[in-house]
A and B are shown apart, each in its own frame.
Chain A
Amino acid sequence: MRFTNLFRRRRRDSDKDIATQRLQLVLSHDRANISPGMLEKLKDEIIAVISKHLEIESDQVRVNFQKNQRETRLVADIPLKRHTGRQKRI
């Protein structure tokens, strides 16, 4: 180990970063008027509807708010199941 590493602080989020991230989250929920629990429920319902028509990787679905200035939008990222024939060979 290099000597200087002894003094280097372990990398972790600063208190400022944590505050910013927490604010980002509460603000997006406040602005959309939806609680984190409701968002989870919404996600499950989206998964159920899409699954009727498409094969999706349901455990990789992400439903989140995206903020652009004072405009907030709901963004769903829904990966489709890859077809066996097309899968990357290892």
Chain B
Amino acid sequence: MSGKIITISSGKGGVGKSTTTANLGIALALLGKSVICIDADIGLRNLDVMLGLENRIVYDIINVVTKQCSLRKALVRDKHYSNLSLLPAAQICDKSAISEDEMVRIAKEAAEQADYVLIDSPAGIEHGFRYAVKPAELVLLVTNPEVSAVRDADRVIGLLEAEGRAPVQLIINRLNPELVRRDVMLDADSILNLLAINLVGIVPEDPAILIAGNRGQPVLLDERSLAGKSFRNIGRRLTGEEVPFIPLQAPSLLQRIFRFQR
């Protein structure tokens, strides 16, 4: 088996990389794919709590790097989806504990055991970012519809292009349709126009994500959540399926009244 290695990256911190990694992991698992999520944010472990797996961790990625245990042994299997597992980040080391080559070795080994390997990249454009994108065959770049996040995304695209790295696709996270409708927030078209890369998904701002994070149950499991639906769709697009973009535009007052009458 040789699975596809996808790195979720952003430049700016806090835009939703880990949220995206956790939800896409589940989305792909629900599609019947085997998935290994690698938390590459060494020193700032987070993917474990997002997936609700924090109590099951025995080994971490550094144990695998130092050959204290095998990759297979370090993987934490998901509670509900046996075809999803997590390679946790180490919490007490820092990012210098792993080299680009070691990351490539681990990601490739993981790809022999799964259809998809999702690497959750640390923020920034330094060493942590570099080792996270090194093994990638595809980089999913997460941004928010705001000036600073889009600017950082552009820096990352520039860096990846300069090194002839993997193709990059964009995820716009935390879009607020109501603010877009009022012309207060950057819309997807303006961002795409500025960054000039392909879009793979738009995820709306959704309070259900906060609740999901607290409970350690990715939002995708909430059937009513629009953000969850967006992540499901991105998962399907990653498998090659053509999925139309769901309209996120909030209905205007007139449209709402009209719908109310119907």
Chain A residues in the interface with B (C-beta under 8 A)? 14-17, 19-20, 22-24, 26-27, 30-31, 69-70
Interface residues of B, dominant DSSP: helix
Q: Are B158 and A23 in contact (CB under 8 A)?
A: no
Q: Are B186 and A19 in contact (CB under 8 A)?
A: yes
Q: A16-B190, A23-B147, A23-B194 are in contact. Are A30 and B185 (CB under 8 A)?
A: no
Chain A residues contacting B146 (CB-CB under 8 Å) are: 19
Identify the stretch in B23-31, B92-100, B149-157 within 8 Å (CB) of chain A at 4 or more residues: B149-157
Closest to B190 in A: A20
Closest 6 CB pairs of A and B: A14-B183, A15-B184, A69-B196, A16-B183, A70-B196, A20-B190
Any chain A CB within 8 A of the CB of B187? yes
CA distance A85 to B187 in the complex (A): 52
Interface residues of A, dominant DSSP: helix
Chain B residues contacting A24 (CB-CB under 8 Å) are: 194
CA distance A22 to B186 in the complex (A): 11
Any chain A CB within 8 A of the CB of B161? yes
Chain B residues contacting A23 (CB-CB under 8 Å) are: 147, 150-151, 186, 194
Q: A14-B183, A16-B183, A17-B183 are in contact. Are A27 and B196 (CB under 8 A)?
A: no
Chain B residues contacting A70 (CB-CB under 8 Å) are: 157, 161, 196
Closest chain-B Cβ to A69's Cβ sits at a distance in Å of 5
Chain A residues contacting B186 (CB-CB under 8 Å) are: 16, 19-20, 23
Closest chain-B Cβ to A80's Cβ sits at a distance in Å of 34
Q: List 18 A–B pairs whose Cβ atoms lie within 8 Å, in order of A's numbering.
A: A14-B183, A15-B183, A15-B184, A16-B184, A16-B186, A19-B147, A19-B185, A19-B186, A19-B190, A20-B186, A20-B190, A23-B151, A23-B186, A23-B194, A24-B194, A27-B194, A30-B158, A31-B158
Chain A residues contacting B150 (CB-CB under 8 Å) are: 23
CA distance A23 to B187 in the complex (A): 13
Chain A residues contacting B151 (CB-CB under 8 Å) are: 23, 26-27, 30
Closest to B161 in A: A70
Chain B residues contacting A31 (CB-CB under 8 Å) are: 154, 158
CA distance A23 to B154 in the complex (A): 10
Encoded as 1 (CB less than 8 Å from any A CB) or 0, chain B from 113 to 153 comes to 00000000000000000000000000000000011001100
